[in-house]
């Protein structure tokens, strides 16, 4: 016997949901499963390869940086500051560890054990992203002797911690590790 689909799709179930709606829900669910199964291969293809990961890290030779000197380089196309602190700067930074700060952090938490004289931070102001001064010879280091952002007047101390001005956070310390006593791999 021929089925009158028009009549069947218009039938109502006990809870008032029409059969036609069930058909739509079933079709959408199937599409959803199909969409999800398509998504997984796409995501796995999008995962960065070993080559890409290696290219996204930067090796920095810190051996030639003298105490009190900084260098400016780049990491993932953004400015990166690498600074070797003097014993006086280390003492000053430690003395301020307990100071009232907007983004409290100790020098030890921002450096590696055994290498507390090497401070590595992004050279990007945490206010609106300008590049602070202080990494190059003769530049204004601000009131706390670290970095100064001239865009709106943020002052960072020798450990790159925000001490004055509108920036909300310390200069970001990227992921890094020492590959040797003098070479640092950032990323
Ligand atoms: S961007 Fe640095 S203070 Fe505004």
Establish whether residue 151 lines the binding site of ligand 1, counting it when its CB lies within 6 angstroms of any ligand atom. Answer: yes
Establish whether residue 166 lines the binding site of ligand 1, counting it when its CB lies within 6 angstroms of any ligand atom. Answer: yes
DSSP one-letter code for 170 = P
Do residues 39 and 69 share a domain? no
| pTM passes above 0.75 | no
Total of domains in the chain: 2
pLDDT in tens, the chain (187 residues): 444 444 444 444 444 444 454 444 444 444 444 444 444 444 445 555 656 655 689 999 999 999 999 999 999 999 999 999 999 999 999 999 999 999 999 999 999 999 999 999 999 999 999 999 999 999 999 999 999 999 999 999 999 999 999 999 999 999 999 999 999 999 9
CA of 7 to the centre of ligand 1 (A): 69
With respect to residue 141, please indicate whether it lies within any of the assigned structural domains. yes
The predicted pLDDT at position 141 comes to: 97
Other C-beta atoms closer than 10 Å to the C-beta of 171 total 27
Sheet holding 70-75, edge to edge: 70-75, 78-84, 118-122
Task: Tell me which residue range forms the domain holding 42.
Answer: 5-46
Reply yes or no on whether 155 is catalytic.
no
């Amino acid at each position: 016997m021929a089925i009158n689909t028009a009549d069947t799709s218009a039938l109502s179930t006990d809870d008032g949901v029409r059969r036609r709606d069930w058909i739509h829900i079933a079709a959408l669910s199937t599409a959803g499963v199909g969409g999800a199964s398509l998504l997984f291969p796409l995501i796995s293809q999008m995962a960065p390869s070993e080559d890409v990961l290696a290219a996204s890290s930067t090796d920095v030779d810190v051996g030639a940086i003298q105490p009190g000197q900084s260098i400016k380089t780049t990491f993932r196309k953004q400015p990166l500051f690498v600074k070797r602190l003097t014993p006086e700067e280390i003492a000053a930074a430690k003395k301020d560890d307990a100071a009232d700060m907007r983004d409290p952090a100790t020098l030890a938490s921002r450096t590696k054990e055994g290498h507390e004289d090497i401070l590595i931070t992004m050279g990007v102001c945490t206010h609106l992203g300008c590049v602070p001064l202080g990494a190059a010879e003769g530049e204004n280091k601000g009131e706390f002797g670290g970095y100064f952002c001239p865009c709106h007047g943020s002052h960072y101390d020798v450990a790159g911690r925000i001490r004055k001005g509108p920036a909300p956070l310390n200069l970001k310390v990227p992921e890094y590790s020492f590959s040797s006593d003098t070479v640092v791999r950032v990323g």
